[in-house]
Amino acid sequence: MPSTTKALRSRDRTYRFELGDMLCAAFVCMVAALILFGAAIAPYDPLVFNPLHPLEAPSMAFPFGTDEFGRDVLSRVLSGARPTLLVALAAAAVGVALGATTGLMAGYISGITDEVVMRVMDALMSFPGLILAMLVVVMLGPAPINVVSAIALVFWPRSARLVRSVVVDLAKKEFVDAARSRGEGDVFIVFRELLPNVLALLMVDFSLRVTAAILVAASLAYLGVGVSPPTPAWGLMVKDGQPLIEIAPWLVIFPCAAIAIASIGAVLVGERLRHALALPGVEARR
């Protein structure tokens, strides 16, 4: 009887794990489809004015309604996925990559170098993330690459401190001493011995940074920084629809829903990765 119960529980765990994997894969595929084909599958041109249908409520012809210029909100939400999600993904990737490199080098070298680097990271973290990103975009200009750089700058010190906290302990492990005894250089040890042991942590960190990047990118667009009309970006759509929220709430509800779904989905993917990769607790490679 105990063995049967154990087998049933094992099958239950396997089923839940597979279901979670499929849901995460479906979400990732949905995000990729929105980035690549969002504008193509939009039923109407998101930029063309239609004075015959201003501020129409959701209907069969316009499932998400129309704005004050008669533009289809569904088409604008689909087309607005790329300016928001692509920027978020790129910014999270750059920020985590910079943070991983900085954290690996600082944690491995330690000493005065570690202190100096971490104090610089602390200085960057002392600025509120959104304000720091706004300052960078205002100074560099509203080009997409500048928005990506600004958001990545916000994530850089946070990822660096996370990786450094793990590498400090890993650098004391026997496999690092063995690599040194073989005559391996510091660069080899950092990227061939230490990096593989933090890859799982970086994957989870990246998924969570994507969540924050979506919110920061949408906030920048809402504040009029980084995206200019008539580009359909989710944050900008919320800003444009806010004055009309009492008579046309769908102008705000649907882009906000898109932001919420994307953010929550990224969090769930991160949680799924954390459980699948057995984090926290990164063990040294033997």
pTM listed for this prediction: 0.84
Say whether pLDDT at 63 is over 50: yes
pLDDT tens per residue across span 244-286: 999 999 999 999 999 999 988 888 888 777 777 765 443 333 3
Mean pLDDT over the full length of the chain: 85
Percent of the chain with pLDDT over 70: 90
Token pair belonging to 141: 């200009």
pLDDT of residue 177: 86
Domain ranges of the chain: 55-276
Stretch among 43-52, 62-71, 77-86, 221-230 having the lowest mean pLDDT:
221-230
Which option is the CATH number for 55-276: 1.10.1040.10, 2.40.50.1020, 3.20.20.450, 1.10.3720.10? 1.10.3720.10
pLDDT (tens digit per residue) in 170-187: 888 888 888 888 888 888
Question: How many Å apart are CA 163 and CA 270, to the nearest integer?
Answer: 16
pLDDT number for residue 17: 52
Residue 38: what are its φ and ψ, rounded to 5°?
-55, -50
